[in-house]
Amino acid sequence: MSAIDDVFRALRAQNRKAFMPFVTAGDPDLAFTGQILAEMMRRGANMCELGIPYSDPIADGPVIQASYTRALAHKIKLAEILAMLEQQRKQFTAPVVTMVSYAIVLRHGPAAYVADAKQAGVAGMIVPDLPTEESAEIARICRDQDFSLVPLIAPTTSRERQLHIAEAASGFIYYVSVTGITGERAALPQELFDNLRWLRSQTDLPICVGFGVSTPEHVRALAPVADGLIVGSAIVRRMAEADTRPREKVLAEVGDYVADLLAALD
């Protein structure tokens, strides 16, 4: 059982839902990344998703793409990100999950990536460009290490394929709320709710919804049909101001925003 499994087991016993904010590692620098992770956990985040910067992300919108570009311009390295997480892990009160391209995992070596990430305190990874048909070996490595391998399911994924993906998943399923890329949206599609209800009837794995979730109204609407909510672009957009405004103010504003969304789950 991974740390992610422990979180969802505890939340289900309390009839509560998970809140998972996303930030980009190294934007504007790793020191601030560590601070913002700790602050969001202090405000009540149940897990945090940490984006590993990559030059060619396949699903991220302009806000997160820009944050990756800024981090890469600073020559951020995977080893530095993992070192920061390991140094800060005693301050973290919730699991960290990496959003990482399979190209990075493959270059590092799948077994080495899982071992090094777990050593740093990471509980699992989301690999958006890893096809299920090619995931058997890394899924085995993750199972052996109690490390969650979280897949994405999109609105365009056939129901037959959704079942195949769910069978290979561990930790939770990341359900993409809309067709397209990450980013803040005014409204969520009505068919999303029917799709989530169907998938919930097919698997016992927790289902977390991301892409476009950014307001308390979104959170309140999705809480009855999802096990967790993932919010990224709205937080990354606020963090982008950390190089031009006092960092303590940006830290407080992100913390307040997270607290507002968490309040919508109560």
Domains of the chain: 3-261 (3.20.20.70)
Rounded-to-integer distance, Cα 176 and Cα 132, Å: 16
| Cα(127)–Cα(152) distance, integer angstroms | 8
Output the pLDDT for position 29.
95
Contact 20, 48 (CB under 8 A): yes
Phi-psi group of 262: left, alpha or beta (phi > 0 → left; psi -120 to 50 → alpha; rest → beta): alpha
Identity at 168, one-letter amino acid code: A
Q: What is the mean pLDDT of the chain?
A: 92
The tens digit of pLDDT for each residue in 206-234 reads 999 998 888 999 999 999 999 999 998 89
pLDDT at 181 over 80: no
- Give me the pLDDT at residue 185, please: 47
Name the residue among 249, 240, 238, 245 with its Cα closest to residue 28: 240
Alpha helices by DSSP H, the chain:
3-13, 30-42, 62-73, 78-88, 102-108, 110-119, 136-144, 159-168, 191-200, 216-222, 233-239, 247-263
Residue keyed to tokens 């979180």? 7
Give the tens place of pLDDT for each residue, 139-159.
Answer: 999 999 999 999 999 989 999
- pLDDT category at 244 given cuts 50, 70, 90 is confident
Q: Give the tokens for residue 66.
A: 């820009």
> pLDDT-derived band of residue 59, with 50, 70 and 90 as boundaries?
low
Closest CA to 238 of 18, 24, 50: 24
CA distance 122 to 11: 20
As a whole-number percent, the residues of the chain with pLDDT over 70 amount to 95
User: What confidence score (pLDDT) does residue 119 get?
Assistant: 97
Distance, CA of 209 to CA of 96 (rounded, Å)? 17
- Residue 263, Cβ neighbours under 10 Å: how many? 12
Task: Give the catalytic positions in this structure.
Answer: 49, 60
pTM of the predicted protein model: 0.93
Indicate if the pLDDT at residue 183 is higher than 60.
Answer: no
Of residues 118 and 243, the one with the higher pLDDT is 118
Structure tokens at 138: 């890394």
Instruction: Say how many C-beta atoms besides its own lie within 10 A of residue 147's C-beta.
Output: 23
In this structure, what token pair is assigned to residue 15?
């009839």
Q: Return phi, psi of residue 202, to 5°.
A: -105, -15
3-state secondary structure of 40: helix
Are residues 219 and 228 in contact, defined by beta-carbon separation less than 8 angstroms?
no
Q: Are strands 122-126 and 148-150 parallel, antiparallel or unpaired?
A: parallel
DSSP class of residue 19 equals: E
Q: Amino acid letter at 90?
A: K
